[in-house]
Structure 1
């Protein structure tokens, strides 16, 4: 008789926010045009990391750029909708006494607004754009693992962007899950660092993934840090 496949220990789940826990509503091509101006190259939208691009500019240009981004982000908050299955998934994680954190390239005010509307215990730590360096650098994810007292290989990173969320998780040494609702990505066509451990079409599938692929363990009773 065949032995059952070994299931990896899981003690915590870290989520991206926009496009993962919330339905994406920001018009990113328009945002790129508004922020980059003459620097804008439509064919390169996906290749440019706009936050890293802005860091190279003068303080005055940065201030104008962040103000424009803030306008688009506020519009996104005004239209905030939770991703189907988000609350049920978090309920399951909480019932299993797993830890759950959040990493977003959005601002802290957006995280605070999300928490106020979500009506669930807060994600902790919940790291926003004010935490540097931000994704795809693994630093924020490693910070959360350290705050939890959990090794990265016992953590799952869930997000909708291969180049930000999945690269962050892979560099940190966590398992990774790509939420690809529209089946846009062919995993074998992604670069090695962008290839997720798992790919799903919905958060309901993430819940099934946790049940079937992992040995769920409650994390150490360490005090998590708060959003900077």
Structure 2
């Protein structure tokens, strides 16, 4: 379980490049700005500028330490994996083909999904796609026990380019019957941790040089420094420090 940026080493320099290209301040959400532009043409031109930066960064992706090991473990246990990313589909496909060509992720929720993190809709959509519904969920990667062969894992994007994440049909979706309590969300941003907490999932922060302040955040259940640290954690039984209700 990891964010898209947890698959590859963080490329946070992209954010400043995107804001410079769009002439917006650091405090402005990049995709909120794009979607607020007055015409479809202006929105598409701004989005094209963002995609160009993402494509350039895509070529420099480097795998996170422990990525292959943890994915091999999850594959061997039959754990399902999904992605919810702020990127568009091309960098996602490139990353998976480059580092994890034999690992299956489904569904893959990209920028075409709304509303974005820190809203929990993307996580709940994955849970619902897997048939995890309130009152009907008998499968879990239990936060009080070890990873099970039918456990659930969600893979979320913490760096992800610009994304706001849009709905598959361009509209906000309602996932009120989805049950994400059996999911573990791994990411590297406050949006990841908050989206996971709001969805009712357990949250794992992949620590980096820029997110240490999130280690003690109320929305963070567990902190790791390498992805393969998850293997003994899941084997011994994942225990959160918070309740898993939203």
**Structure-2-length-normalised TM-score:** 0.70
Contact 2:188/2:211 (8 A) holds in 1 = no
Provide structure 1 residue ranges, at least 5 long, that are not aligned to the other structure. Answer: 1-12, 216-228
User: Which residue number in structure 1 is paired with residue 116 of structure 2?
Assistant: 134
Match of residue 160, structure 1, among 188, 196, 199:
188
Greater displacement, 144-153 / 87-96: 144-153
User: Which residue number in structure 2 is paired with residue 96 of structure 1?
Assistant: 77
CA RMSD of aligned residues (A): 2.1
Matches within 5 A, 1:13-92: 13=1, 15-17=2-4, 19-25=5-11, 27=13, 28-35=15-22, 37=23, 39-40=24-25, 45=26, 47-59=27-39, 60-92=41-73
Question: How far apart are the structure 1 equivalents of 2:29 and 2:189?
Answer: 12
Contact 1:26/1:75 (8 A) holds in 2 = no
Taking CA–CA contacts closer than 8 Å with sequence separation of 6 or more, which of the two structures ends up with the larger relative contact order? 1
SS of the residue 1:152 aligns to: coil
Residue 85 of structure 1 and its aligned partner are, at CA, apart by: 0.9
Question: How far apart are the structure 1 equivalents of 2:205 and 2:225?
Answer: 8
Higher helix share: 1
**Structure-1-length-normalised TM-score:** 0.76
User: Which residue number in structure 1 is paired with residue 201 of structure 2?
Assistant: 174
Contact 1:152/1:172 (8 A) holds in 2 = yes
Greater displacement, 205-214 / 130-139: 205-214
Matches within 5 A, 1:200-219: 200-214=224-238
Residue 188 of structure 1 and its aligned partner are, at CA, apart by: 7.3
Aligned residue pairs total 190
User: Which residue number in structure 2 is paired with residue 226 of structure 1?
Assistant: none
